[in-house]
A and B are shown apart, each in its own frame.
Chain A
Amino acid sequence: MAINQTASGALPKESNSIKWGGLLTGAVMLILLTVLVAELDDWIGFTFKEHDVTQNPLEYPLTAVVVGLIANGLLRLTHFYHFVKPAIRTELFLKVGLVILGARITLDDLVTTGTGGLIQALIMVCSVFMFSWWLGGKLKLNPTLRAVMASAVSVCGVSAAIAAAGSVLARKEEVTYVTALVIIVALPMMVLMPPLAHAMGLPDDVAGAWFGGNIDTTAAVVGAGTIFSDDAQAVAAIVKLGQNVMIGFVAFALALYFATVVEKDKEGAQKPSIGMIWQRFPKFVIGFVLVSILVSTDVFSPEIVKELNNAYKWIFALAFVAIGLDFHVSSLRDMGWRPVGVFMGATVFNTALALLAAWLIFGVLGF
Chain B
Amino acid sequence: MTDSKPPVTSKSASLKLSEDWLATIIGLVIVLIVGVGALGPGPQTAKLTAAAGESTSVEVLARDGWELTTTIGGEKVKVQSPFTDLKSGTIYTYECRDGEITPLTEQLDTATREDSSKALISLQNNCEAKVVLTYQTKFAIRWPIFGLFTK
Contacts and interface: CB of A to CB of B under 8 A. Distances in A.
Query: Do A and B form a real pair?
Result: yes
Interface of A: 5, 9, 35, 38-39, 41-42, 45, 60, 89, 91-92, 95-100, 103, 282-284, 286-288, 290-291, 294, 299-304, 307-308, 310-311, 313-315, 317
A5 B5 CA distance: 13
Contact of A307 (B25, B41, B85): B41
- 7 closest A-B pairs (Cβ-Cβ)? A99-B27, A95-B23, A287-B24, A38-B148, A283-B20, A303-B63, A313-B149
A301 B85 contact: yes
A284 B24 contact: yes
Interface string B76-103: 0000000001011000000000000000
Contacts of B3: 5
Interface string B9-43: 00000000011111111111011001101011100
Contacts of A307: 34, 39-41, 143
Contact of A291 (B28, B64, B88): B28
Contact of B30 (A100, A284, A286, A294): A100
Nearest to B20: A283
Q: In which size bucket is the chain B interface? A: 35 or more
A286 B21 CA distance: 9
Interface string B54-66: 0000000111100
Contact of A103 (B31, B63, B145): B31
Nearest to A45: B151
8 contacts: A96-B23, A99-B26, A99-B30, A283-B21, A287-B24, A304-B64, A307-B143, A317-B149
Contacts of B20: 95, 282-284
B112 interface: no
Contact of B34 (A92, A290, A311, A317): A311
Interface in B132-151: 143-146, 148-151
